[in-house]
Structure 1
Amino acid sequence: MIQDVLWIIGVVLVIVLLVAVFVFSIYNKLIVLRNRVENAWAQVDVQLKRRFDLIPNIVETVKGYAKHEKSVFDEVTKARSAWMSASTVGEAAQASNMLTNALKSLFAVAEAYPELKANENFKQLQQELSQTEDKIAYSRQFYNDTVMKYNISIQQIPNNIVAGMFHFEKKELLETTEEEKITPKVNFES
C-alpha cells in the first residue's frame, strides 16, 4: 500500500518535472527570440541615428546655396525632432518616413543649383547618405525577418500557451508607406 502511494507520488513528480522542463525550455526560447527582435530594432535605430546625424551636414551645405528654401529646412528639422522624441518602433518609423519625404524635397532644391551638385562636400555627404540608406534597408529587412520568426513562435502550439502565460506580445513589422513606394527621380549628375 505505501509502495503504491510512493510510486504514484514519484510518477506525479516526474510528470510535473517534465512539464516544468518543457515550459522552461519554451520560455527560454521565447526570451531568446524577443531579445533578437530588440537587437534587430537597435540595429535599425543605429542606422537611423547615423542618417539623422548626416542630415544637418547636408542641410548646412544646401543652405549656403539655397537660403530662400526655408520650408524645406523646417521639414527636415521637424522630422529629425520627431525621430529624437519617438518612443516606439511605430513612431520612429513614422519619423523616418517624414525624413524621407523631407529629403526628397531637399534634393529637389539641390537639383536647381548646379554649383551645389558639383560641391565635393555635398557629393561626399550624398554618398554617405546613400550608403546609410542601404544599411537602413538591410536592417529593416533583418528586423522584419526576426519579428516574423518571433511572432510565428508565440502563435504556434504549444508555444502560444507559454507565451500567453508570460505575456509575450506580438511585435509590429516595419512597413513601407505608400509615399516610400514612389521612387524619387533625382539626378545629381550635370
Structure 2
Amino acid sequence: MIWLIGLIIFVVLVTIYYANRIMILGNRVDNAWSQIDVQLKKRADLVPNLVETVKGYMKHEKEAIKAVTKARERMMKAGSDEDRVKANNQMTGALKTIFALSENYPKLRANENFMMLQEELSAVENKIAYARQFYNDSILTYNNLVTTFPGSIFASILGKKKKKHLEIEASERKAVKVDF
C-alpha cells in the first residue's frame, strides 16, 4: 500500500516537473522571438533616416531607395512571425544593395550622418544575428524536451508540438565569391 502511495506521489511530481519545464522552455522561446522583434523594430526605425540621408546623394538610384522603403513598410505591416521573417529578409537585401551602391558616391560615404547610420545599422544587424542564434538555441532545447521520452508524452498531453527554427535564405547560403 505504501509503495502505491509512493508511486502516485512520484508520478505527480514527474508530471509537475515536465509540465513546468515545457512551459518554461516555451516561454524562453517566446522571449527569444521578442528579442529579435525588438532589434527588427530598431532597424526599421533607422531606415527613414537612412533614406533621407541617401536621397540627396543617390538621385539615380530610386529603385534601391524604393526597395528599402517598401521592405520597411512590409515589415511594419507584417502580422505573423513568418511574414515578419520574410519582410526582414527583404529588408536585409535592400539595405545590402544601398550600402553596395553607396560605394559609388564618395561624398555620401564621407557624410557623417550616413557613417553614423551605417554603424548603427551594423550594430543592430549584429544584435539580430545574436538574437536569431539565441532563438534557435532556445528552439533546440524546447524541441529536445518535447520530442524525447518521457517529455514527448507530457508534451502531447499539453498539446505542445515541435517548433521551427529560423533559417537563412538560400541566397545567404551561397559562398561569397572573391576575385583577386
Question: Is the pair's TM-score, using the shorter chain for normalization, greater than 0.5?
Answer: yes
Distance change (3 Å), C-alpha of 1:183 and 1:86 = farther
Q: CA deviation at 1:86?
A: 2.3
Question: What is residue 3 of structure 1 aligned with on the other side?
Answer: none
Gaps of 5+ in 1: 1-6, 186-190
Alpha-carbon distance in structure 1 between the residues aligned to 2:85 and 2:53: 26
Q: Once superposed, which parts of structure 1, at least 4 consecutive aligned residues long, lie more than 6 Å away? A: none
Alpha-carbon distance in structure 1 between the residues aligned to 2:90 and 2:51: 15
Question: What is residue 148 of structure 1 aligned with on the other side?
Answer: 140
Question: What is residue 35 of structure 1 aligned with on the other side?
Answer: 27
Within 5 Å, which residues of 2 pair with 1:89-168? Answer: 89-168=81-160
Deviation string 1:96-145 (CA, Å, 9 cap, x unpaired) is 11011111221233222111111011001111111111111111111111
Q: How much is the aligned-residue C-alpha RMSD, in angstroms?
A: 1.9
Aligned residue among 62, 74, 84 for 1:70:
62
Q: CA deviation at 1:26?
A: 0.3
Taking only the aligned residue pairs, the percentage that are identical comes to 46
Aligned residue among 22, 25, 28 for 2:17:
25
Gaps of 5+ in 2: none
Q: CA deviation at 1:63?
A: 0.5
Residues 54, 129 of structure 1: 8 Å contact kept: yes
TM-score (norm 1): 0.85
Distance change (3 Å), C-alpha of 1:70 and 1:184 = farther
Amino acid at match of 1:21: L
Distance change (3 Å), C-alpha of 1:141 and 1:168 = same
Aligned residue among 49, 55, 72 for 1:80:
72
TM-score (norm 2): 0.90
